[in-house]
Structure 1
Amino acid sequence: MILDDDAEAPPPRRIKLSDQIAEDLCRRIARDRMEPGQRLPNERALMQHYGCAKGTIREALKSLEVQGLVTMQPGPNGGAEIRPVSIDAAALQLRRFLHFRQLDFAQVYAVRRSLEVALGLSIVGRIDDDILQQLARNIDACQAAADAGDLARGRLLELKFHDILCDASDNALLAFMCRFLNSLLRDLVEFRSGSATEHEAFGAHNIDSHRRLVSAFRAEDAGAVEAVMHEHMCCAEHFMRRLDAAFHRDLLSGERA
C-alpha cells in the first residue's frame, strides 16, 4: 500500500510510563556511577519523584530486574539493589537479536579473525602465572578429551581456552565481544556435528596452536602471538565453513530430517 503525500503518518507508539521510568533509572545508575550493592531509593520515594502509583514503580523495577541490573531485596529495609551485570545476561540480549536472523560461520569469523588477533596482542606482557597455568591445564584437558575420542568436549574446551585469554584483558569491550563470539560458536558447533576424522584433525591443530600461543605469551613475543593467532583463526574458519557447508548439504539431501 502506497500512501500519498497528504496522508497522515501513523502516530508514534506511546511508551509505557513504567518503561520510561525504567530507562530513566538506568541513566541515573550510569550517571551517578552506582556500584553493585548500592540501592535505589525505596518505592515511596520513587512514587513521589515520578508522581505515579506503586504498581507502575514495581513494573519499572521488575523490568530492571529482568535485565539483570538490580535484584530485589525483601523486607522493610529491602528494595532494588544494584548488581553487576553478568556477561551471560548481556550476551542474552544480543542472542535474542540474532535469534531470527540467519547466522553462519562465515559471518562469525569475518569478525572473529581480527578480534582474536587484537585480543592476543592486547594481553602480551599482561598474562600472569595464574592465567598461564589455567591455559596449560586447559591444553592438558583438551589432549585428554582427544585421546578419549570425546570430540564434543574437545571443541568446548578449545573455546574455553579463548575465554581464559579474555580474563587477562583490561579492554572490557574487546573481551566481551570475544566471549560472545565464543558462545555463538559453542551453539553452532553442537548443532553441526561433522565427521569424526575432520574433528580429530582440527583438534590436533588447535592443541598445537594453543601450545605455541602459550610459549609466545611466556616469551612476551608480540610478533609470534600475532602470527600464530592469525594462522589459528584462518584454520578454524576453514574447518568451520566446511562444517557449515556439510550441514546445509545434509539438510538439502534430507539426511538430517
Structure 2
Amino acid sequence: MSVSDQVAATASPKTIKPGPRKARKRTDEIAEAVKRTIMEHGLEPGDRLPQEKELIAQYAASKGTVREALKSLEVQGLVRIRTGPGGGAFVERMSEGRAMSLLGNYLFAKTVTIADIYALRKALEPLVAVDAMENIDAAGFTRLEGIISVYAHEPRDAEERWAQRMAELDFHSVVAEYSDNALLSFQCRFLQRLLKDLAVCRDIYRQDQPVMRQRGIAYQRELIAAMREKDGDRVRQIMADHMAHAEQQMLTLEAEVEARFLDEN
C-alpha cells in the first residue's frame, strides 16, 4: 500500500472532529490528521506525503486551506515543502536545536532565573547521569576527559574564558547524550542551553575575575570514575553534590555582577 493509500485509509474527513468546547480551525484539524498519519505509519524523513490534489479531495478542503495546513507543519519542522518538478510535501524530522529554539521562544517573555534552572538541574542531572552510566563507552569517557582539558587551566584571554564556560556545560551535554530516556536527556540539555543563553548568565561568563572551578573539575573526575565502575549510588550522589556546588557558585557570581552594576550606576 502506498503512502497516499495509507493516509486515505486512516485519516478521512469523518475522523476530524472539532473539540467539545471550541471548534478548531480547519487548517489545524488537517495538520493534526497528517501528523497522526505520520506517527501511525512510522513515516521516515524523506517520505513523500500525498500530492496536494489528493489532500484536497481527502479532506474536502480548499487548496488554500490545505496549503496553510502544510505550511503550519513546515513551520513546526515536521514537513519540508519542495517546489518545482518532483516537488511536494515530505516528512522532516525536527532537530533538537530547533525544538529548543521553539521552547526558548515560549519562555522568552517569562522570568526564568538561575535558581529556577538549578531547581530542575539538581533533580534531573543525577538521574540522567545514572541512566547514561549504562551506555557510555570508552569513546564517551575520552570525550569527557577531553572537555575537562579545555578548562583545566587558566584562560589566556576573554575568548578562551568564554569557550571554557561553554565547555563546562558541554560536559553535561555529553553525559546526557548517553541516556536512553529521550525526554530526560532533552530536558537536561535544554537546561544547559538556557544557562548558555540566559542574559544574566552571559553577563557572568564575561566577567574577567578568576573562576574557581577546581572543585567542579574534581566532581567531574569523580563522576567519570564512578561511571566506569557502574556505581549508580555514587554517580547519583556525586552529581547531586556537583549541582548543589554549581548552583552556589552561579548565585554568588550573580550577586557580584548585580553589585558591580549598582556600583557603576
| TM-score (norm: length of structure 2) | 0.83
Q: What is the identity, as a one-letter code, of the residue corresponding to 1:134? A: R
| TM-score (norm: length of structure 1) | 0.85
Q: Which moved more, 1:110-119 or 1:209-218?
A: 209-218
Is contact 1:142–1:158 with CA below 8 Å preserved after alignment?
yes
Is contact 2:155–2:161 with CA below 8 Å preserved after alignment?
no
Q: How does 1:175-254 map to 2 (within 5 A)?
A: 175-188=185-198, 189-193=201-205, 195-197=207-209, 200-201=211-212, 203-250=213-260, 253=262
Structure 1: tracts of 5 or more residues without a match: 1-11
Distance in 2 (alpha carbons) for counterparts of 1:142 and 1:27? 46
Residue 249 of structure 1 deviates from its aligned partner by 4.2
Who is 2:82 aligned against? 73
| Cα distance per residue 1:119-151 (max 9 Å; x no partner) | 11112232111111111111112225x343532
Q: What is the identity, as a one-letter code, of the residue corresponding to 1:65? A: E
Aligned-partner SS, 1:123: helix
Residue 18 of structure 1 deviates from its aligned partner by 2.0
Q: Which moved more, 1:204-213 or 1:83-92?
A: 204-213
Residue 200 of structure 1 deviates from its aligned partner by 1.4
| Cα distance per residue 1:38-61 (max 9 Å; x no partner) | 221111111111112222212111
| Cα distance per residue 1:57-82 (max 9 Å; x no partner) | 12111111111111123333322111
Distance in 1 (alpha carbons) for counterparts of 2:255 and 2:75? 38
Residue 214 of structure 1 deviates from its aligned partner by 1.4
Task: Compute the RMSD of aligned alpha carbons.
Answer: 2.2
Determine if the alignment matches structure 1 residue 129 to structure 2 residue 133.
no
Q: How does 1:127-166 map to 2 (within 5 A)?
A: 127-143=136-152, 146-149=154-157, 150-166=160-176
Who is 2:72 aligned against? 63
Kindly tell me: are residues 179 and 245 of structure 1, through their superposed partners in 2, closer, same or farther at Cα, counting changes over 3 Å? same
Aligned-partner SS, 1:212: helix
Kindly tell me: are residues 62 and 250 of structure 1, through their superposed partners in 2, closer, same or farther at Cα, counting changes over 3 Å? farther
Q: How does 1:10-49 map to 2 (within 5 A)?
A: 15-49=24-58
Residue 194 of structure 1 deviates from its aligned partner by 6.8
Structure 2: tracts of 5 or more residues without a match: 1-20
| Cα distance per residue 1:140-170 (max 9 Å; x no partner) | 12225x3435322111001111111121111
Distance in 2 (alpha carbons) for counterparts of 1:182 and 1:244? 17
Q: Percent identity?
A: 36
